[in-house]
Amino acid sequence: MPESKPKVVVVGAGVTGLTSGLLLLKNGYDVSIIAKHIPGDFELLSSKAGAQWSSHSGPDEFTFQEYDKPGYYEFLKLAREEPTSGIHEVLVDHYAHKDYVSAYKLPWFESYVPGFQKLDRSNFKFPSDDLVKGHRYKSVTITTPHYLAYLYAKVIEFGGTIKRARIDHINDANKYHHSGETPDLIINATALGARFLGGVNDLKMYPVKGHIVVVSNSCYNQKIVQPVPGSEVPGEAFYIMNRKEGGSIIGGCYHPVKIDEMDFKIDDKLTQRILTRAKKYAPELLDSKAFPENKPELDIVTVYVAYRPTREGGIRLEREGKIIHNYGAGGTGYQSSFGTAAGVLKLANEYIAKTKGSKL
């Protein structure tokens, strides 16, 4: 063991920075997290996600599959053991529409998640006649603002610090360890900010638009229909997540945009299409016998636009000198958070062993 704990500054307090920071704290590092946006800020992108575990990795994307794998069991454990984490266990029904059935494929995690079940019309009552097959598995819904608050509290509990600060250059992070000393390592978890941050300026980062409607009506389980047939605009999907505290979060769309075309205006027509699909594919939303909070119409709590911090080529997880980069998770930042944090810890341990000649 080194004489004193290695010092780390994590830049970014979204799910990526908080999870990486917490894992480092639990493994003998002295961690300060700094960020422009911290849990509790509506502007923090991580607070706007659904969120679920439903790996998007392709059948041959083994590295990304490895990032997604640990999160599945970690989130189920949190759902079962940590009531303040804002996570609960749910079933996910993924449906193929009759117009897209030839494009439908079983996911790689068919053999990874327990109790994975194929669905077709012979064994399952579908919520609409135009859905013809699919699959079901156990997963989680994460109420993201609650989970971020949980992570925030854990970081403090394990001796870390969180401070609001915006830096212009990644090397400026050297000034922010709570001890006043220069850190041994910097973790860059700035997501879309990596595009603008001096010393990084990663032009592979781009935004992918999402459109969310939160309603007080509850549904039985998560449902996904992808892609949505007859969409006026390509890239629309239907997904609904039943949240632990009740109510549902419904999407949405997946529209890559240019960085200077980001806007947060609500598209009322898309909102209407989302609501129409919700009523069709989750009819229990309007049934007060299913849940007492359900009204005969959808009761909108909020509607917003948010951008997935996406990177050409996928997540950047690598060390560059004393900086470890962990950003670019796009639409998968929750499900990949435990896997990429484990990658950060491995890179940090190797670096400290090399530079300090000792193992943690």
Ligand X SMILES: Cc1cc2nc3c(=O)[nH]c(=O)nc-3n(C[C@H](O)[C@H](O)[C@H](O)COP(=O)(O)OP(=O)(O)OC[C@H]3O[C@@H](n4cnc5c(N)ncnc54)[C@H](O)[C@@H]3O)c2cc1C
Query: Smallest distance from the beta carbon of 96 to ligand X, in angstroms?
Result: 20
Nearer to ligand X, 68 or 184 (CB): 68
DSSP secondary structure letter of residue 123: T
d(Cα 287, Cα 218) in Å, to the nearest integer? 9
**Contact indicator for 274, 251 with CB cutoff of 8 Å:** yes
Stretch that binds ligand X, among 42-50, 88-96, 293-301, 348-356 (CB under 6 A): 42-50
Query: Smallest distance from the beta carbon of 209 to ligand X, in angstroms?
Result: 8
CB atoms within 10 A of CB 97: 21
Count of residues of this chain found to bind ligand X when the rule CB under 6 A is applied: 41
DSSP secondary structure letter of residue 127: S
331 is in an annotated binding site: yes
**Is 308 one of the binding residues for ligand X (CB under 6 A)?**
yes
Q: Which of 332, 338, 342, 347 contacts ligand X by CB under 6 A?
A: 332
**Is 255 one of the binding residues for ligand X (CB under 6 A)?**
no
Q: Tokens at residue 163, please? A: 């401070």
**Is 282 one of the binding residues for ligand X (CB under 6 A)?**
no
Q: Which of 331, 338, 343, 345 contacts ligand X by CB under 6 A?
A: 331
**Is 14 one of the binding residues for ligand X (CB under 6 A)?**
yes
Q: Tokens at residue 68, please? A: 């997604």
d(Cα 339, Cα 341) in Å, to the nearest integer? 5
Query: Smallest distance from the beta carbon of 46 to ligand X, in angstroms?
Result: 3
> Which residue, 19, 27, 72, is CA-closest to 317?
19
Nearer to ligand X, 6 or 309 (CB): 309
190 is in an annotated binding site: yes
Residue at 329: amino acid letter: A
Query: Collapsing DSSP states into helix, strand and coil, what is residue 300?
Result: strand
Stretch that binds ligand X, among 48-56, 92-100, 225-233, 275-283 (CB under 6 A): 48-56
Angle of CA points 161, 30, 79, to nearest 5°? 65
**Positions 21 through 40 that interact with ligand X (CB under 6 A):** 35-37
Nearer to ligand X, 17 or 294 (CB): 17
Beta-strand relationship, 185-188 and 7-11: parallel
Stretch that binds ligand X, among 105-113, 277-285, 293-301, 322-330 (CB under 6 A): 322-330
Q: Tokens at residue 133, please? A: 């097959």
Q: What are phi and psi of 78, to 5 degrees?
A: -60, -40
> Which residue, 1, 73, 51, is CA-closest to 342?
73
Query: Smallest distance from the beta carbon of 172 to ligand X, in angstroms?
Result: 8
Q: Which residues bind ligand X (CB under 6 A)?
A: 11-17, 35-37, 44-46, 48-52, 166-167, 189-191, 193, 197, 210, 212, 251-252, 306-309, 327, 329-335
Residue ranges of the annotated binding site for FAD are 190
Residue ranges of the annotated binding site are 190, 331
